[in-house]
Structure 1
Amino acid sequence: MKSTMMLLACLLSLSHALPFEQRGFWDFSMDDGMAMMNDEEGSGTPPPTMPGLPLPPMDMCPFGCHCHLRVVQCSDLGLTEVPKNIPRDTSLLDLQNNKITELKKDDFKGLTKLYALVLVNNKISKVHDKAFEPVYHLQKLYISKNNLAEIPPNLPSSLVELRIHDNKIKRVRKDVFNGLKNMNCIEMGGNPLENSGLEAGAFDGLKLNYLRISEAKLTGVPKDLPETLNELYLDHNQIQAIELEDLIRYSKLYRLGLGHNKIRMIENGSLPFMPTLRELHLDNNKLSKVPPSLPDLKFLQVIYLHSNNITHIGVNDFCPVGFGVKRAYYNGISLFNNPVAYWEVQPATFRCVTDRLAIQFGNYKK
């Protein structure tokens, strides 16, 4: 009876023991060594596997990387190629800030569960035609700040987001986005793209919500971008004018970025093609007057016009005539750094603005 009580007490104490916590690299090897010693002393503890049977496969973390909960982080290691033996259940692979120059055919072999791949800030200039074939569940590809001369071919059809800015891309081929029906966002600014580099039909079949082609060499608004766009950013280009039919396709836009261009003229009637527009960036251009047709944009709430050459503001430049016509009032109008005599502007000019703090005039300085 006494020995039985002692056995129960030992079992209870074990049931309340804390889980094992590894505090050092050698903790596991020490445990293995203790187990071996116990076996040699005849403890009777059976081995973990039967003799003659192969050990179960075990994915190892690549040397120097950190692996945790299906996330493999191999950034800032000076790698010149994609590491081998990446665990097959990896969902996020971070390879940014290395010196990888090429993506080979089998670099991602077996990574069928990969969801996001980060290759930002490497030296990649070559991508094998079948490099992305194994990662057919990939949804996010970040390959910005590399040396790519074109968009990689055969991107996974599962792709939702592509960030490929700050490369050396001069051309977007007609068939490069074929089959990418799930694509929602493309960031491709910072490439030396001209209007002629966007082949006709290059974006056919895409249902994008977001597209940025900023810091490029565009001289006009591209005319065959996806009609589904909600956000379009063409800032820091060389666009000189907005003509009547430039925006006719983009009726679903609610945010348009055209800042830091050379726009001198916006043709009357071009802006109403975007009836749901809520935010318009026209700052840092060469406009000499407030763009026409702004009162027709019933939902416009924010407009940036600072750092232009605007000299006069009319009483009906922003607000429609009559009450109840505009559906949403302005909560931001920036007009600073323009040669306009703000003290001569009629107070009624801003009758459809939420409050006076929403208007920014500032001082004009040459």
Structure 2
Amino acid sequence: MALPQLSWLLLLLLLAGHAPRTLSCPRGCRCYSLAVECGSIALREIPSGVPPLIQTFFLQDNAIGQIRQWDLSALGQLRYLYLQNNSISALEPGAFRGQAQLLELALNRNRIHLLSADTFQGLEHLRILYLSGNQITRLQDHTFRCLQRLQELHLQENSVEVLGQEALVGLSSLALLDLSRNSLRTLQQGSLRPY
């Protein structure tokens, strides 16, 4: 009995080592057509095997400690990424390099204390950035230079003591900046200028 034509094609692909790769939902997560929900499941790192075309990724309320360069590299269609209430203390430079479509990034309520000029590289379309409730003490010059379309920057409830004179350079679209409940004592003239 002959196999249908499609079965022959699949058999040939398998024999050639080119089997179509299917990604399943990471263990403990719930996957929908364009979203993956992995909140509150005690994750220590961003799971692998996530469908690459997702647009929304919920990772809140876990124990994730860092974001590495390769953690999100296969998810180039992300629009919304929620990592609030984790233990993130390290954001590897270039970790967001492949996230050009990202519009909203929630990193609030983590343990982030240092941001560099390369931290947000690749986020050209980001509109909203939540960094409140971290341990940031200093905003260095050009920290947000890659975020020219950013409209909201939430930095409240940190320990910011120093705001570099050019820390906000590049934020030409900024409409809301929340620095409330920090430790700022003085501001240099021009330090709130976004360009």
Coarse TM-score class (shorter-chain normalised): 0.7 to 0.9
Q: Distance in 1 between matches of 2:7 and 2:181?
A: 61
Cα offset for 1:75? Answer: 0.3
Cα deviation, 1:139-164, whole Å, max 9, x if unaligned, reads 21100000011236331222111100
Partner amino acid, structure 2, of 1:133: R
* TM-score (normalised: structure 2): 0.86
Cα offset for 1:90? Answer: 0.9
Matched, 1:56 2:16: no
Cα deviation, 1:100-133, whole Å, max 9, x if unaligned, reads 1111121012111011111000001111112111
8 Å CA contact retained: 1:133, 1:154: no
Specify the alignment match of 1:161 in structure 2.
Answer: 128
Matched, 1:203 2:161: no
Q: Distance in 2 between matches of 1:101 and 1:90?
A: 23
Matched, 1:193 2:152: no
8 Å CA contact retained: 2:130, 2:153: yes
Match of 1:218 among 175, 184, 188: 184
RCO comparison, higher one (Cα < 8 Å, 6+): 2
Matched, 1:46 2:10: no
Q: Distance in 1 between matches of 2:50 and 2:154?
A: 28
- Aligned-pair identity in percent equals 27
Q: Distance in 1 between matches of 2:126 and 2:156?
A: 19
8 Å CA contact retained: 2:170, 2:194: no
Cα offset for 1:45? Answer: 7.7
Specify the alignment match of 2:81 in structure 1.
Answer: 117
Q: Which has the higher helix share?
A: 1
Q: Distance in 2 between matches of 1:158 and 1:227?
A: 17
* Aligned counterparts, 1:84-123, within 5 A: 84-123=48-87
Cα offset for 1:222? Answer: 6.6
Match of 1:179 among 118, 128, 146: 146
Partner amino acid, structure 2, of 1:120: Q
Q: Distance in 1 between matches of 2:157 and 2:61?
A: 18
* Aligned counterparts, 1:1-366, within 5 A: 46=4, 49-50=7-8, 51-54=11-14, 55-151=19-115, 153-155=118-120, 156-194=123-161, 197-207=162-172, 208-220=174-186, 223=189, 224-226=191-193
Cα offset for 1:49? Answer: 2.5
Q: Distance in 1 between matches of 2:69 and 2:171?
A: 26
Q: Distance in 2 between matches of 1:77 and 1:111?
A: 21
8 Å CA contact retained: 1:174, 1:201: yes
Partner amino acid, structure 2, of 1:95: L
Cα offset for 1:181? Answer: 1.1
Structure 2: segments with no counterpart, 5+ residues:
none
Q: Distance in 1 between matches of 2:13 and 2:183?
A: 64
Q: Distance in 1 between matches of 2:4 and 2:25?
A: 29
Cα offset for 1:87? Answer: 0.7
Alpha carbons of structure 1 residues 171 and 227: separation in structure 2 relative to 1, 3 Å: closer
